[in-house]
């Protein structure tokens, strides 16, 4: 029996993903405490293309609000959403586990512990924040967490079932959260800053956070997307993948490191935003198919659009008080996770 070749990326889905990103960027930039006309916002964004200059009919004040406040936050949301969704899809393929997610595997908690340590040390020594310091600390914590989860998942044998891996991730997350709490108890002066960050937020004072996370996003995207064909081969099992000339462990480790780098970069600028890596890839699998050659690029596009729209909801649904975006994604993601868990268990029965 001949195995069907996984479908590639269809032009219609690519166009839909690009449209979702552009539409979410315009909506996210237009709505807020000071509403801006969506048409004028779209024209100003189009003016960012070299050689294009059109009249948007926006005042100079409105243009300043758009370019210095609203658009940096939207672009940051696009980058973070793309990274979290891509990392979720990569983990699920590398572990062959439909429940793998940066939040559930303890990766986000490890990155959070690294960022907390940097915040505490900065507050204690009066140091200014280095652009590379927070992402580097977050990456170290993320790699350590995913390694612990992977080892604990195999503690009872070589078979890492979805339930075993998730339980290991819960245990690692609990341990790292306890370490984080202990660290905060020793440095109460940093409690407010860390707590605000833990709830997840995309507040930014300009383009600084975007410039910090952009190199990590490019590296993660290039590595993971270059491995999408190998990821399809890994789904058939390590033995068959090796017979086809692939080095399964080498490819898996490369994907894990790249996905952890992307998660760490996202966590360092946005805090703990969960469930994006489950909601987006699973929805796309149902609608566009399971092949990673299509799933990974679409996860980047629709993950970006999803978080930009979620941030818009967080900014506007609570009236004058902004809802932490991590709370919104948890409200959306918890029922979705239960559905995925039930589907996974039904498929194994």
Per-residue pLDDT tens over the stretch 263-303 = 888 888 888 888 899 999 999 998 988 889 999 999 999 99
| CATH no. for 98-348 | 1.10.3470.10
**Domain locations along the chain:** 98-348
- Closest by CA to 102, choosing from 323, 324, 326, is 326
- pLDDT, tens digit (0-9, with 9 covering 90-100), for 190-220: 777 777 777 777 876 678 889 888 999 999 9
Q: Cα(41)–Cα(126) distance, rounded to whole angstroms?
A: 40
Q: Return all residues near 265 (Cβ < 8 A) that are at least 6 apart.
A: 83, 135, 138, 139, 212, 213, 216, 217, 220
- The tens place of each residue's pLDDT in the chain, 349 residues long, gives 444 555 678 899 999 999 999 999 999 999 988 889 999 999 999 999 888 888 888 999 999 999 998 999 999 999 999 999 999 999 998 888 877 888 778 888 888 888 888 888 776 554 444 444 677 788 888 888 988 888 887 765 555 566 677 788 888 989 998 998 888 888 887 777 777 777 777 876 678 889 888 999 999 999 999 999 888 888 777 777 778 778 888 888 899 889 988 988 888 888 888 889 999 999 999 898 888 999 999 999 999 999 999 999 998 887 777 888 888 998 888 888 777 777 765 555 4
pLDDT > 90: what percent of the chain? 32
Q: Cα(197)–Cα(212) distance, rounded to whole angstroms?
A: 17
Q: Cα(112)–Cα(134) distance, rounded to whole angstroms?
A: 10
**pLDDT recorded at residue 2:** 45
**pLDDT recorded at residue 234:** 83
In order of 14, 27, 103, 188, 270, the CA distances from 191 in angstroms are 43, 34, 22, 5, 17
**pLDDT recorded at residue 268:** 83
């Amino acid at each position: 029996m001949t195995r069907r070749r996984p479908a590639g990326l269809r032009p219609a889905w690519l166009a839909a993903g690009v449209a979702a990103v552009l539409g979410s960027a315009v909506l996210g930039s237009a709505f807020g405490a000071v509403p801006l006309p969506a048409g004028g916002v779209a024209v100003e964004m189009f003016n960012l293309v070299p050689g294009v200059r059109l009249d948007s009919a926006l005042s100079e004040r409105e243009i300043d609000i758009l370019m210095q406040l609203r658009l940096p936050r939207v672009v940051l949301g696009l980058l973070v959403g793309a990274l979290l969704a891509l990392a979720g899809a990569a983990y699920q393929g590398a572990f062959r586990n439909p429940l793998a997610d940066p939040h559930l595997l303890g990766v986000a908690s490890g990155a959070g512990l690294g960022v907390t340590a940097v915040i505490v040390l900065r507050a204690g020594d009066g140091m200014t924040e280095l652009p590379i310091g927070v992402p580097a600390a977050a990456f170290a914590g993320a790699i350590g967490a995913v390694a612990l989860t992977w080892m604990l998942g195999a503690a009872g044998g070589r078979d890492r079932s979805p339930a075993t891996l998730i339980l290991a991730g819960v245990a690692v997350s609990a341990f790292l959260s306890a370490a984080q709490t202990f660290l905060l108890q020793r440095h109460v002066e940093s409690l407010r800053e860390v707590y605000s960050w833990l709830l997840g937020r995309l507040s930014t004072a300009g383009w600084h956070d975007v410039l910090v996370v952009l190199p990590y996003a490019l590296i993660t995207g290039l590595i993971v997307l270059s491995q999408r064909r190998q990821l399809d081969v890994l789904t058939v099992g390590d033995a068959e993948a090796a017979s086809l000339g692939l080095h399964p462990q080498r490819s898996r480790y490369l994907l894990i490191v790249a996905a952890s780098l992307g998660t760490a970069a996202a966590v360092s600028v946005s805090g703990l935003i969960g469930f994006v890596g489950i909601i987006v890839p699973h929805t796309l699998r149902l609608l566009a198919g399971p092949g990673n050659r299509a799933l990974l690029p679409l996860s980047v596009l629709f993950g970006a659009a999803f978080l930009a729209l979620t941030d818009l909801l967080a900014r506007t649904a609570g009236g004058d008080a902004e809802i932490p975006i991590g709370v919104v994604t948890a409200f959306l993601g918890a029922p979705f996770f239960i559905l995925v868990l039930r589907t996974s268990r039904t498929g194994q029965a």
